[in-house]
Amino acid sequence: MTEITNNRFEHLLDLHHLKKTGPRLKVLAMMSAKNTATSQPDLEGLMEDVDRVTLYRILNVFEEKGIIHKIFDLNGTANYAICTSNCQEHHHHDEHLHFNCTVCNKVYCLNDLSLPAFNLPPGFKAEGFTLYASGTCPQCNKK
């Protein structure tokens, strides 16, 4: 992790009026070190020295503040990824594709793919959309 990356996270916490603590910076470091979302169980394993409850609380505030977003995989397990942009407190812009590999179970946030337009039946008012795809990821297809 570079100096600059670390400063970026500290700045991020400042922005949201959150104290710059070890556990919080570690969560951000762990999540940003991967190109896929991180599951709650994985994260718990990576944060051995941090209390389980603390981790849950960190994930909750980060989500509330729009720093990370939560994705449930095919098994209903919570996965977390750092928001790329546009997210703000209590209003996520999570309108991209989430790809869940059925082999390795990884969750990819494909931010570059915006959702195609479509209509809802009368009476429904939509606030947010997420498209989920399941299948096999590039890594698993190679093998």
Partner DNA sequence: ATCACAAATGCAACTATGATGCATTTAATT
Partner DNA sequence: AATTAAATGCATCATAGTTGCATTTGTGAT
Residue ranges binding a second copy (CB under 8 A): 72, 76, 78, 97, 99, 102, 108, 110, 112-113, 115-138, 141
43 membership: H or E segment, kind and range: helix 40-46
Q: Length of the chain, please?
A: 143
Residue partners of 50: CB distance under 8 A and separation at least 6: 23, 26
For DNA, give the closer residue by CB, 41 or 135. Answer: 41
- The option from DNA, a second copy, none interacting with 116 (CB < 5 to 8 A, set by class) reads a second copy
Which of the choices DNA, a second copy, none does residue 110 contact, using the CB cut-off of 5 to 8 A by kind?
a second copy
Contact flag: residue 41 with DNA (CB under 7 A): yes
Does 81 engage in binding with DNA (CB under 7 A)?
Answer: no
Look at residue 22 and give its three-state secondary structure: helix
Q: Give the shortest CB-73-to-a second copy separation in angstroms.
A: 9
Q: How many residues sit close enough to DNA to count as binding (CB under 7 A)? A: 25
CB 27 within 8 A of CB 60: no
CA atoms within 13 A on the CB side of 89: 7
- State the nearest-atom distance from the C-beta of 59 to DNA, in Å: 8
Query: Under the criterion CB under 7 A, does residue 48 sit at the interface with DNA?
Result: no
By the rule CB under 7 A, 57 interacts with DNA: yes
- Greatest extent of the chain over all pairs of C-alpha atoms, in Å: 52
Token reading at 6:
């670390």
